[in-house]
């Protein structure tokens, strides 16, 4: 879900007040132009794209000396921009195993493939980037907003040069299998069988988190969570596909955060990215760790909170989460934000953290 949609919910919850109320109202005005932005990337319109990057050496705005937050160590970040009108809205990402390539998907129906550049261990920019459209079966062009709204992505087979990714969509809820050839996302070959209850998700709260388990007893199974589709017990609803058949599981809701993405570590551990937006407090981000042994059909998951951050840190509307291992074997988490195609109200951020011992005490910046 975009911040524009969250702003609608925030304003319904109470009267507009001060700067944040004005911000919510301004964000709502951005939503109408999102589809026309994506239509600049028509089928056959795959093209190179120039991307500028401004480094963010510190995570906390007022405390530049602090790089460790519990089991996470900040490696560095970037503010990304481009003159190309289709650049922005990044809602899902996949990192190559070594962190040398990145694939992004936007909620306006575009993908972006690029090489990641580093200065020592900190991200330094995106090079040799290409952007193109997400299309339908047999390469058919997608033009309706309800069909374009890609919110999640995970590697399904192979790698980012030649393989397959799963892309999850909301509004027109579906999960497609998309081949990758020479780093480009091609037309889907098929769609994953959906659980019957998933069809009752709200249009703007669909498959926001998507992962494939890389280890554990259900290795190879797809995991998906709705952004917000509470059960009668108030739990977040999710699903695990066992031998291709979706079965339900759930996640405990703490403090009204929504789920925005998920990744699996090699042992089957899940890391969840969560977001909360209120007009009275702005946007918050949270990372949660769930052990591999806990992930199974019918499970009520909870897990350990690794990090909670607000606007006192370098965050925005954080929606995409990826993972890789660097040359020294460290586990690196990459997080990107959806700027709603607004260069003056929001930012396209890319942040990286080293994940150390997840049992370390959690820290709130």
Q: Say if 363 falls within a structural domain.
A: no
Q: What percent of the chain is modeled with pLDDT above 70?
A: 86
Q: Backbone phi, then psi, for 229, in 5-degree steps?
A: -145, 75
**Helix 18-30 and helix 3-12, axial crossing angle in degrees, nearest 10:** 130
Q: Say if 24 falls within a structural domain.
A: yes
Choose the weakest-confidence range: 10-24, 84-98, 125-139, 175-189.
Answer: 10-24
| Residue 324, pLDDT above cutoff 60 | yes
Q: How large is the average pLDDT for residues 325-345?
A: 93
Q: Say if 8 falls within a structural domain.
A: yes
Residue 199: predicted pLDDT: 81
Residue-wise pLDDT tens digits, 164-213: 999 999 999 999 999 999 999 999 999 999 998 888 888 777 889 999 99
Q: In whole angstroms, what is the distance from residue 201 CA to residue 218 CA?
A: 25
Q: Say if 364 falls within a structural domain.
A: no
pTM of structure: 0.89
| Residue 72, pLDDT above cutoff 80 | yes
Q: In whole angstroms, what is the distance from residue 330 CA to residue 75 CA?
A: 11
- Residue 316 belongs to domain spanning: 3-355
Nearest to 308 by CA among 255, 231, 243: 255
Q: How large is the average pLDDT for residues 241-267?
A: 95
Q: Say if 361 falls within a structural domain.
A: no
What's 258's domain CATH number?
2.115.10
Q: Say if 362 falls within a structural domain.
A: no
Q: Say if 365 falls within a structural domain.
A: no
Number of domains observed in the structure of the chain: 1
Q: Which residue has the higher pLDDT, 218 or 44?
A: 218
Q: How large is the average pLDDT for residues 264-268?
A: 97
Q: How large is the average pLDDT for residues 2-8?
A: 55
Q: Say if 27 falls within a structural domain.
A: yes
Which residues neighbour 258 within 8 Å (Cβ) at sequence distance 6 or greater?
A: 1, 205, 208, 227, 228, 274, 275, 276
| Residue 276, pLDDT above cutoff 70 | yes
| Residue 255, pLDDT above cutoff 60 | yes
| pLDDT band at 243; cut points 50, 70, 90 | very high
| Residue 138, pLDDT above cutoff 80 | yes
For the chain, the average pLDDT equals 88
| Residue 221, pLDDT above cutoff 70 | yes
Which residues neighbour 36 within 8 Å (Cβ) at sequence distance 6 or greater?
A: none
Residue 4: predicted pLDDT: 53
């Amino acid at each position: 879900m975009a911040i524009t949609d969250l702003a609608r919910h925030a304003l319904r919850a109470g009267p507009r007040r001060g700067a944040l109320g004005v911000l919510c109202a301004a964000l709502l005005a951005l939503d109408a132009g999102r589809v026309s932005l994506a239509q600049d990337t028509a089928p056959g319109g795959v093209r190179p794209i120039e991307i500028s990057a401004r480094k963010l050496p510190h995570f906390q705005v007022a405390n530049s000396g602090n790089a460790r937050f519990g089991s996470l160590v900040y490696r560095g970040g970037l503010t990304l921009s481009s003159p190309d009108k289709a650049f922005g809205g990044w809602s899902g990402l996949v990192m190559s195993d070594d962190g040398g390539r990145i694939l992004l998907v936007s909620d306006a129906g575009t993908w972006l493939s690029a090489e990641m550049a580093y200065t020592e261990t900190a991200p330094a920019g995106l090079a040799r980037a290409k952007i193109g459209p997400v299309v339908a079966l047999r390469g058919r062009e997608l033009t309706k907003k309800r069909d374009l709204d890609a919110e999640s992505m995970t590697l399904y087979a192979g790698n980012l040069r030649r393989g397959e990714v799963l892309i999850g969509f909301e509004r027109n809820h579906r999960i497609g299998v998309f081949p990758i050839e020479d780093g480009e996302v091609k037309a889907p070959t098929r769609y994953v069988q959906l659980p019957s209850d998933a069809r009752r998700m709200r249009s703007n709260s669909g498959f926001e988190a998507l992962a494939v388990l890389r280890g554990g007893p259900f290795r190879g199974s797809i995991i998906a969570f709705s952004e917000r589709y509470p059960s009668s017990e108030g739990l977040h609803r999710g699903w695990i596909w066992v031998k291709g058949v979706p079965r339900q599981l759930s996640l405990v809701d703490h403090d009204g955060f929504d789920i925005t993405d998920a990744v699996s570590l090699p042992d089957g551990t899940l890391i969840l990215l969560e977001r909360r937006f209120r007009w009275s407090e702005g946007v918050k981000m949270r990372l949660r760790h769930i052990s591999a042994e806990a992930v199974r059909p019918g499970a009520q998951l909870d897990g350990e909170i690794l990090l909670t951050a607000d606007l006192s840190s370098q965050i925005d509307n954080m929606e995409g989460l990826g993972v890789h291992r660097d040359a020294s074997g460290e586990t690196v988490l990459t997080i990107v934000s959806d700027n709603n195609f607004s260069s003056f109200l929001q930012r396209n951020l890319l942040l990286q953290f080293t994940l150390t011992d997840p049992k370390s005490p959690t820290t709130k910046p």
